Amino acid sequence: MKAIYKVQGGKLIKVDLTLENNKIKKINITGDFFCHPEEKFEQIEKRLKDTTFEKGFILKKINEVVHQHQLTLVGVSSQDLAETISQAK
Amino acid sequence: MILRVLKLQAYPAAMNMAIDEALIESIGKGESPPTLRCYTWKPSAVSIGYFQSLQEEVDLQACKQKNVEIVRRITGGGAVFHDQELTYSIILPDSLVPKDILASYQFLCQALVNTFQKLGLHAQFVPINDILITNQKISGNAQTRRNNCVLQHGTILLDIDVDTMFSLLKVPDEKMKGKIISHIKERVTSIHNQLKRRINSEEIVSILINEFANLLNLSFQEGVLTDKELKRAEELKRIKYLNNDWTGKK
């Protein structure tokens, strides 16, 4: 399942994911956005594994990682990421 | 504190990115002063942003056929075809720039805006990370922060060949490729397009050095990479930037 979303005034997000029983099994988030520190971004993908495929659950997990690792997203927001992921078809 | 300025040099893609990373390491450890380097890419190369998908952004076959190298940057942002352009990297302690990332882009990009101004071009910084001349992009910039240091690198387009660029880069929707190319042709410019003449890269570099030194209130001094930096860059080139685990990580 894939989704692509260009944030207004921001950057592009591309999502490629696999579901199993309505839970995210595998997810790859790519795009031309910025995240500091960069190497912590993959924690979002790791944390989303086994998350119910619903925007509210996805956003909660993303926000947890953002706070825990003090991520600064530039050109996209947690909301944008959650929205894009939940739109994957 | 001085601003060390490295001589304009052309390197292969992997070495260019390895030098940048070696510099943020050495400056972060306090072993070297803030540094400005200007460089070109030989052979031409495509760099992709930290978070981009190699397969989705780059036509690997076309790059191979045209002897265009591919490298993944340590900075986010989009794919760039490094051909007829000048690239700069400024690496400095984060105490010298605004803490806020967007504000620090604007701050550092002011040196480029001033450089364009000195060339007679009215440029403006447009958030997040671009410099435009009459709504056309002439410079894209990208930042990373680590070890209490900021690295910002970016391009100054000397000339552009959008058709070649899109023979190497993929677009999200191949059916829209023609439309996208037309759009990009309207939205991108170059020093050559603007001035209607070719300009020596050294001339731009010399203005850029002065503008960065003024902006940072530092005096500049020509320098070279230390042996340690060079050795570390060679190592990073080998273990990271020439390694498909890094280039193909996404």
**Does the pLDDT at position B235 exceed 90?**
yes
Q: Give percent of chain B above pLDDT 90.
A: 90
* Confidence (pLDDT) at B183: 87
Task: Reduce the secondary structure of B21-63 to three states and give it as a string.
Answer: HHHHHHHHCCCCCCEEEEEEECCCEEEECCCCCHHHHECHHHH
Which of B79, B101, B250 shows the shortest C-beta gap to A74?
Answer: B101
* Confidence (pLDDT) at B176: 81
For chains A and B, CB pairs below 8 A equal: 60
* Residues in B touching A10 (Cβ below 8 Å): 128
Are A37 and B146 in contact by the 8 Å Cβ rule? The answer is yes
* Confidence (pLDDT) at B181: 87
Q: Is the pTM of this model over 0.90?
A: yes
Would you call A14 and B56 a contact, using CB atoms and an 8 Å cutoff?
Answer: yes
A1-52 pLDDT, tens digit per residue, is 999 999 998 999 999 999 999 999 999 999 999 999 999 999 999 999 999 9
**Does the pLDDT at position B216 exceed 90?**
yes
Average pLDDT over residues B144-154: 97
* Confidence (pLDDT) at A19: 96
What is the dihedral angle through the alpha carbons of B238, B241, B242, B248, rounded to the nearest 10 degrees? 140
The chain-wide mean pLDDT, for chain B, equals 96
Q: Dihedrals φ, ψ of B82, to 5°?
A: -95, 100
Q: Which domain holds residue A79?
A: 2-86
| pLDDT tier for residue B133 given thresholds of 50, 70 and 90 | very high
B contact test, residue of A7, A16, A34 with most B CBs within 10 A: A34
Are B168 and B66 in contact by the 8 Å Cβ rule? The answer is yes
Instruction: Please check whether residue A42 touches B, CB under 8 A.
Output: no
Instruction: Say how far apart CA B158 and CA B32 lie, in whole Å.
Output: 30
Residue among B213, B174, B202 at smallest CA distance from B3: B213
Instruction: Say how far apart CA B117 and CA B200 lie, in whole Å.
Output: 16
| CATH number, domain B2-247, options 3.90.470.10, 1.20.1250.20, 3.10.580.10, 3.30.930.10 | 3.30.930.10
* Confidence (pLDDT) at A28: 97
**Where are chain B's structural domains?**
2-247
Minimum distance, in Å, between the CA of residue B57 and any CA atom of chain A: 9
Are B152 and B89 in contact by the 8 Å Cβ rule? The answer is yes
Angle between helix A55-68 and A78-86 (nearest 10): 150
Would you call A30 and B250 a contact, using CB atoms and an 8 Å cutoff?
Answer: yes
Unique residue bearing structure tokens 């002063």: B33
3-state helix, strand, coil in chain A (%, to 5): 35, 35, 30
* Residues in A touching B143 (Cβ below 8 Å): 34
* Residues in A touching B52 (Cβ below 8 Å): 30-32
DSSP, residue by residue, B161-229: -HHHHHHHB--S-GGGHHHHHHHHHHHB--HHHHHSS---HHHHHHHHHHHHHHHHT-EEEEE---HHH
Average pLDDT over residues B103-120: 97
The CATH number of residue A41's host domain is 3.30.390.50
* Confidence (pLDDT) at B90: 98
Q: Count the domains in chain A.
A: 1
**Residues B179, B182, B187, B190, CA torsion sign:** positive
Are B103 and B119 in contact by the 8 Å Cβ rule? The answer is no
B22-43 pLDDT, tens digit per residue, is 999 999 999 999 999 999 999 9
Instruction: Please check whether residue B98 touches A, CB under 8 A.
Output: no
Average pLDDT over residues B190-196: 93
Instruction: Please check whether residue A4 touches B, CB under 8 A.
Output: yes
The answer to which of B81-85, B113-117, B172-176, B178-182 has the lowest mean pLDDT is: B172-176
Nearest CA in chain A to B172: A4
| pLDDT tier for residue B173 given thresholds of 50, 70 and 90 | confident
Minimum distance, in Å, between the CA of residue A31 and any CA atom of chain B: 5
B49-78 pLDDT, tens digit per residue, is 999 999 999 999 999 999 999 999 999 999
A48-85 pLDDT, tens digit per residue, is 999 999 999 999 999 999 999 999 999 999 999 999 99
**Does the pLDDT at position B172 exceed 90?**
no
Average pLDDT over residues B184-195: 93
B70-95 pLDDT, tens digit per residue, is 999 999 999 999 999 999 999 999 99
Minimum distance, in Å, between the CA of residue B172 and any CA atom of chain A: 8
| pLDDT tier for residue B197 given thresholds of 50, 70 and 90 | confident
